[in-house]
Structure 1
């Protein structure tokens, strides 16, 4: 498995803690001066430290973590992270925060995910996220499409919350895409698809229809008027495309325990699931090569 070393945690002085999103936007906007910037949204206290260390190691210039006061951060992370007190249980919590940050910092590259989610991209073991974004900009692209690939522990009796970094498994097949139609029509959107698979597909009876797709525009360049919508798409059509008009572009994956956690936490599904293992389960190797080989992300023309 990957070692979350936090090797880029070099600053020793503590970063200010903000009592609210409004407080951050009024006094902490210096943190938004240079991207790429990661926004991590903490829903529970599971693997918060490893999530943040992993994304520091990816090379993000700043990390803003939105989380309730009840949760603690490890000491080494407190010294680097911009912590914003935030209630993720409120309606439209994610979109509200992301859109406020977009408005405050146009023309900046951002990434967002939840705790117990880990960004992987082609060659991430030797290249930084900034290098990937620089190449993507040469391709005249303002987004990088990410696929949310479900992770789950192999033994739910030993790991009842379905989370184990050392024993993480994933589905190696069962992923597919459908045409995304223009709202209210049967005409497909240009270069847009809805992607499905993983636990959200295998246990779709426990997942609302609106939450079943696994594509997310996880990396994007903010601009004036841009808004994130509840289904992880943006109000600008080109931002939701999987590729440009002339060739395929690179994509990335967000390896996520989030669905597995929810299925085991929810009483309506927890007792129906004794194991997430099936004949297409495979141990996750914590390496981009495995995801490239499975077709769960692609390098495009980046070599």
Structure 2
């Protein structure tokens, strides 16, 4: 189904928000759009919304299975606006957002649905889940000049770290909040603005009144920005993403400085949650 605008969807598409969890895929370009949508449909999202330009095409099955909303996500602030509008229209539902060429992984995702995971997370009285955005990149940039290859994807197996997140009003660290860094944004930080170097994103969250996504991928409710509850560790998840690699190779200021993304800490991406768990890039918490 196709809606001509976000306004049209909010006014007439309420039936698609009646059951969660709901995925929102922000389509910036035409790279791996179909695989992104299929990945999240297979993960068990009840509804997958594709925010995308009108001139992009989708395979016939996805025109049926995904809900297409004509929208320009490249405009400044457009992603936050879309997420916040869907939040207001789907109070109480679990929502998720990502970009094309990004793929959600969570503990045991090969055998359990995202709905099962979020049901357990809800039982632990959590309304949001931290996701680490793990950079993927093609191993051969001559063969894949846009740095995207599903068959030959690599990731960094080390080089990740966290710093205390300070409250700008007091200068003191915020409780149970950290800023996470690593991957290509860390290795090529001279080409990445400081405000865009973090790899943490609160990509899974329960819609709530007056909740607002901010431009740094955090929310105006500080509890939503925590990585764990006060009494024990919670589930975290990961988004395997080609987005940074694409940007670094498309940017004229960085593309010629990067003949390859591979280094001594590169490893083939196995497309399996076990690898991410073993590398410490997500954790199951109390969920077994």
TM range (shorter): over 0.9
Show the counterpart of 1:148.
133
The DSSP-based 3-state class of the residue aligned with 1:190 is: strand
Aligned residues: 288
* Inter-partner Cα distance in structure 1 for 2:191 and 2:54: 30
Show the counterpart of 2:11.
26
The answer as to 2:71 corresponding to 1:62 is no
Residue 29 of structure 1, CA deviation: 1.3
252, 262, 269: which one pairs with 1:284?
269
TM-score norm. by structure 1 comes to: 0.94
The Cα RMSD (Å) is: 0.6
TM-score norm. by structure 2 comes to: 0.99
The DSSP-based 3-state class of the residue aligned with 1:137 is: helix
Return structure 1 stretches of 4+ with deviation > 4 angstroms.
none
Show the counterpart of 1:50.
35
The DSSP-based 3-state class of the residue aligned with 2:65 is: coil
Q: Which deviations, in whole Å up to 9, do the C-alpha atoms of 1:77-96 show, x marking residues without a partner?
A: 11111100001121101000
Q: Map 1:124-143 to 2 at 5 A.
A: 124-143=109-128
* Inter-partner Cα distance in structure 2 for 1:128 and 1:233: 25
Q: Map 1:1-303 to 2 at 5 A.
A: 15=1, 17-303=2-288
Residue 76 of structure 1, CA deviation: 1.0
The DSSP-based 3-state class of the residue aligned with 2:213 is: coil
Residue 251 of structure 1, CA deviation: 0.3
* Inter-partner Cα distance in structure 2 for 1:214 and 1:95: 17
Q: Which deviations, in whole Å up to 9, do the C-alpha atoms of 1:75-127 show, x marking residues without a partner?
A: 11111111000011211010000001111111110000000000000000000
Q: Give unpaired runs (5+ residues) of structure 1.
A: 1-14
Residue 19 of structure 1, CA deviation: 0.6
Residue 185 of structure 1, CA deviation: 3.0
Residue 264 of structure 1, CA deviation: 0.2
The DSSP-based 3-state class of the residue aligned with 2:204 is: strand
* Inter-partner Cα distance in structure 1 for 2:104 and 2:95: 13
* Inter-partner Cα distance in structure 1 for 2:66 and 2:284: 30
Residue 186 of structure 1, CA deviation: 2.1
